[in-house]
Homo-oligomer: A and B are copies of this chain.
Amino acid sequence: MHGPTDRMTRTPLAAGEAMLRKLQLHTSFTKTERQVLLALPMNHAYFAARDTIVHEGDALTRSCVLVDGFAARFKTLPDGSRQILSLHTAGDMMDLHSMVLEVADHGIAALSHVRVTYLTHAALLDASDRYPVIARALWRETLIDGSVFREWLLNIGRRDAYSRMAHLICEMKVKMEAIRLAREDGFPFPVTQAELADATGLTTVHVNRTMQRLRRDGLISTRGTDVLVEDWDALVDAAAFDPTYLHLRNH
């Protein structure tokens, strides 16, 4: 694993935009607040698929925003088995909690070629102190994060493999739509079955067979790494999916 391409330059506009768009899904900002957020000092870095963005146990002084691509947070057991805790898309602030907790109790890995932006905790805390709405928005972002973990707990603890996979696909579709990265002919989902296995608590073999069944049943289809939902109602039904836990305004 050759380290990231780390460019200590001012961030391109799009980086702040991705974060802002995401925060605006649940919070309204004034013009000033938007400007403050966009003016935060940002460094960006690129990672290749399979790179580790943050290592478990690291002490952190900055949080990272996923600007482009797919990433996952994970924990590993001494025996090497891995559990993916969450999947992330553009705009996600993946370790905002480290702003307060300061030590990474889990790792973050790139699933595809990825671009991330770093925000120092110092700058975030400063903006939070000066603008209560920003503080509240960041807090809310971490709370939604927690809400998603709770849903995943239900997913892994009580749904069977079929329902579990269906639920994961529902979640990804809704997330991709929220940030306008889903199209009529499906959404990109460049995640290997081994990674899906780590995310669902299953094995790759079983993920494979379950995905086959979802296709055979006409709920989804795939083309390359894109997923197309063929029958949303049936998928939602199979998953017992209720998007409330995502706390998105438009859902």
Contacts and interface: CB of A to CB of B under 8 A. Distances in A.
Interface in A207-247: 240, 244-245, 247
Given A97-B143, A153-B153, A156-B156, 18 more contacts: A73-B150, A77-B154, A83-B157, A85-B153, A97-B147, A100-B139, A105-B147, A105-B150, A135-B135, A139-B139, A142-B146, A145-B146, A149-B150, A149-B153, A152-B153, A153-B156, A156-B157, A156-B201
Interface of A: 73, 75, 77-79, 81-83, 85, 97, 100-101, 103, 105-106, 129, 132, 135-136, 139-140, 142-147, 149-154, 156-159, 200-201, 240, 244-245, 247
Contacts of A247: 101, 105
7 contacts: A75-B151, A100-B143, A101-B140, A105-B150, A129-B132, A139-B142, A152-B153
Contacts of A201: 156-158
Contact of A78 (B139, B143, B240, B244): B240
Contacts of A77: 154, 158-159, 240
A36 to B, nearest CB: 18
A159 to B, nearest CB: 7
A75 B149 contact: no
A143 to B, nearest CB: 5
How many copies make up the complex? 2
Nearest to A199: B157
B83 A143 contact: no
B240 A83 contact: no
Contacts of A103: 244
Select the residue from A139, A144, A145, A245 with max chain B CB neighbours within 10 A.
A139
Contacts of A136: 100
B156 A244 contact: no
A146 B97 contact: yes
Select the residue from A85, A135, A146, A157 with max chain B CB neighbours within 10 A.
A157
A105 B150 CA distance: 9
A77 B240 CA distance: 7
A78 B167 CA distance: 14
Contacts of A147: 97, 101, 105
A106 B101 CA distance: 24
